[in-house]
Amino acid sequence: MSRFVLITPSPDFAERMRAAVEGALPGGVHTVPTAELPEQPEQIFDLLGGVQPAVVVLGPGVPLDGALRLATVFDVRFPDVSILLAAEADAELMLQAMRAGIRDVVSANVEPDQLRVVLQRSVQTSEGRRRESNVPAPPRIIGAASSASSRPRAASARRRSRRTSPSASARSRP
């Protein structure tokens, strides 16, 4: 099972990604060796036989506008898939990445050990979001909170009055 998808034309980065994952993180890496990004996340899922990966890494070498656009679609439609961007980032790119829902930005020259830590955090985030999405929402209580909280008190007050009321005890005897 491919837990990680990498889209990049860079064989050097692909090798560092494989070194970061193999033997250290569960799952494998599915590398798409191209700079062309798909328009929709489902196109990536199709490459994996319909399975959603935990992490998608975009770049280096992919168009930044396309990467930000694809990350935005993932963030809206599949928030449980973590998106990473491999690029040399300045403050403006970091802000754009954050707004697009990118989990982290790493240097294109990142070392495998550092990349492993980022990938591990991304998997934990993905798994947490998947758990949260499978938890049923708590039931909604419609109406004023004060009326709901006063019902138990009113019921217990009626029980107390029945126990202490002479007419209530007389009615309960045969």
Q: What is the CATH number of the domain that holds 94?
A: 3.40.50.2300
Containing 128, the helix (H) or strand (E) segment is helix 112-134
Residue 74 inside a domain? The answer is yes
Q: Residue 21 is part of which domain span?
A: 2-134
Q: How do residues 5-21 score in pLDDT, each as one tens digit?
A: 999 999 999 999 999 99
The pLDDT confidence band at residue 161, using thresholds 50, 70 and 90, is low
Structural domain includes residue 140: no
- Annotate 153-172 with b (16+ C-beta within 10 A) or e (fewer): eeeeeeeeeeeeeeeeeeee
Tell me if 139 is assigned to some domain.
Answer: no
Residue ranges with strand state E in 42-151 = 55-58, 82-86, 104-106
Global pTM reads 0.75
**Any residues with CB less than 8 A from the CB of 112 and at least 6 apart, and which?**
16, 17, 19, 20
Q: Does residue 33 sit within a domain?
A: yes
In a domain, 169, yes or no: no
Number of domains in the chain: 1
Residue 159 lies in a domain: no
In a domain, 162, yes or no: no
Q: Which two tokens stand for residue 79?
A: 């928030």
* Higher per-residue confidence, 162 vs 45: 45
Residue 25 lies in a domain: yes
Could you tell me where the DSSP H helices lie in 22-111?
41-47, 64-77, 91-100
Residue type at position 71: A
